[in-house]
Structure 1
Amino acid sequence: MLYEAAARQHFQLGKHAPAPEIAPFVEYYWTIHWNLPGDRSHRQWVIPHPTVHLVFDPAGSTVNGVMRGRFSRLLSGSGRVLGIRFRPGGFRPFLDGPVSQLTDRVIPLAEFLDTEAEEQARRALDIVEPAAMVASADEFLRPRLPAVDPMVAVVADLVRQIVDEPDLARVDTLADRVGMGRRTLQRLFAEYVGVSPKWVLLRARVHEAALRADEDAVDWASLAADLGYSDQAHLTRDFARVVGVSPARYARGCRRDASAERLRKPGTAIRE
């Protein structure tokens, strides 16, 4: 999520572990609750991760492939959403073909599965308590689980290496490390992740830069070097293309929102 301090003023986000038998496929469940009185509204922008999400939403439940561009959701009134974030590669066993067929697509749940699935999703949203909502997600997935695919763990580990090492700047470096050819790695990512390893590398660096922008003062030239860029201009260009504004402008917005949060809740920490 972009501008996290502002987001915390408008909705509550929770993350919850799935049941053990579901964990090979699902990274976590997430819940969002909001209550915006009167004519208040909030538009939340998100830069995506290389994961598929199944979203139980009162506006219509969906299967969301990896979105390669930023996207937003406008919140108003009150409501709640329950999401299932699959592990990188974790949705492939549910499909008859590569995950790339879902990339940049949002498919109605009833179209992807059946009308009963949509009804189950709607019933889950009738539940208020997050733990019970999570239990309903377990119940939704448990009878639909496919056989465990050992390649899911391999792919998830490849993505983890990229995310944990945002200075990992070249696909060839990763391919050499894991003993795969570059084209083999690209085919594996298309089949299981839905996007190329180069896309995942770039997005990991932008995510790290966005997280670091929350700090009081950022040396962007040093950060660019830390992330494996040859110069600051390349970081600025990638960041602006993904986030929509320059790193410096984004950092100013984060500081503004954090100051507003401190004024609203004196003595509380910015980060949970």
Structure 2
Amino acid sequence: MEQDKDRTAPRGVLHPEQGASRFTVTTAPPGPALAPYVEYHWIVRWDVTGQPPYDSQVLSHPNVHLVLEPVGPLVYGVIRGVYTRRLVDAGQVHGVRFLPGGFRAFASGPVQELTDQVLPADRVFGAAVDDLCPRVLACAETDAMVVLVEEFLTARVPSEPDPQAVQVAAMVREMTGDRTMLRVEQVAARFDLSPRTLQRLFAEYVGVAPKAVLRRARLHEAAQRADAGSLDWAALAADLGYADQAHLTRDFTAVVGVPPSRYARGER
């Protein structure tokens, strides 16, 4: 029997209440061999049969994804804007969210080269990933899907994790979890690195600059709080380290596409 897994929409899925009746997101942790590289597996299943197509929007994290889709397997670099996926009829996809820095072990060059790119996965994993994709999507249970993907990726991991990739993952975890960390200089000082070294590490292993990671973490927090109910936007701006409410509004609108007050009303 399939084990229970987390079906809560991950942070970053915009307007989760609107999507709840249309799709589910199931997540599962990686096994020990992939834990240094993979954050989790995610499986989206949707059914909008007889309904208009639904545009699911995601405010992406600083992670690279391998996604097995009906159209074929794809690698998604870090997307700096909002990613929109149109859901039609019914189906499922299986995604692998790599840790920040974790995908570098599989890439042929700096992860920055993949930023804002979506490319056929066989360019990274070879033709075998094309054979894997339909076998995974034919599975009805999450456990069976995860087993196939785990076997595929485990056969391709290095003998030892890259210590710099491990360090980068720890940096991003702290940057996104500590709301008092607002500036790149703070991050550099925390990890005893120069700002320039930090920038180089993030270009090589993450795909976006440290400043972009800090900014995205604040916007995730703002969107999550907006989804939870009415807010004092001025107080939220101060809490997230913005100079004022106008600064938060500009930042949020530039990335999400609507001002935070309109987003909170469910507008797109």
Q: Which residue of 1 aligns with 2:233?
A: 220
2:207 equivalent in structure 1: 194
Please tell me the residue identity of whatever aligns with 1:5. Answer: E
1:77-116 alignment to 2 at 5 Å?
A: 77-116=89-128
1:211 aligned partner: 224
Shift of 1:169: 1.8
Give TM-score, length-normalised by structure 2: 0.92
By how many angstroms is 1:116 displaced? 2.1
Q: How many residues align?
A: 255
Per-residue CA distance 1:202-256 (angstroms, 9 max, x = gap): 11110110011123321111111111111111000000011110010111118xx
Match of 1:52 among 64, 80, 83: 64
Deviations 1:108-135 (Å, cap 9, x if unpaired)?
0123332221111221111010111111
Aligned to 1:144: 156
Tell me if structure 1 keeps the 8 A contact 2:106–2:124.
no
**Do the aligned partners of 1:88 and 1:193 also contact (CA within 8 Å) in 2?**
yes
Residues 1:43 and 2:55 are matched in the alignment: yes
Deviates more, 1:176-185 or 1:108-117: 108-117
Cα distance in 1 between the residues matched to 2:71 and 2:80: 23
**Which of 95, 117, 134 is the equivalent residue of 2:146?**
134
* 1:177 is the counterpart of 2:183: no
Larger mean Cα displacement after TM superposition, 164-173 or 10-19? 164-173
Kept in 1: contact 2:108–2:124 (CA 8 A)? no
RMSD of aligned C-alpha atoms? 1.4
1:20 to partner: Cα distance: 0.9
SS of residue in 1 equivalent to 2:48: strand
Segments ≥4 residues shifted beyond 4 Å: none
**Which residue identity does 1:85 align to in structure 2?**
R
Could you say what secondary structure the match of 1:56 adopts?
A: strand
Measure, in 2, the Cα distance between the counterparts of 1:203 and 1:133. Answer: 30
CA–CA separation in structure 1 for the residues paired with 2:38 and 2:111:
15
Give the SS at the match of 2:87: strand
TM-score by length of 1: 0.90
Aligned-pair distance for 1:9?
1.1
Identity %: 49
Distance 1:163 1:209 in 2: 13
* 1:65 corresponds to which of 67, 77, 80: 77
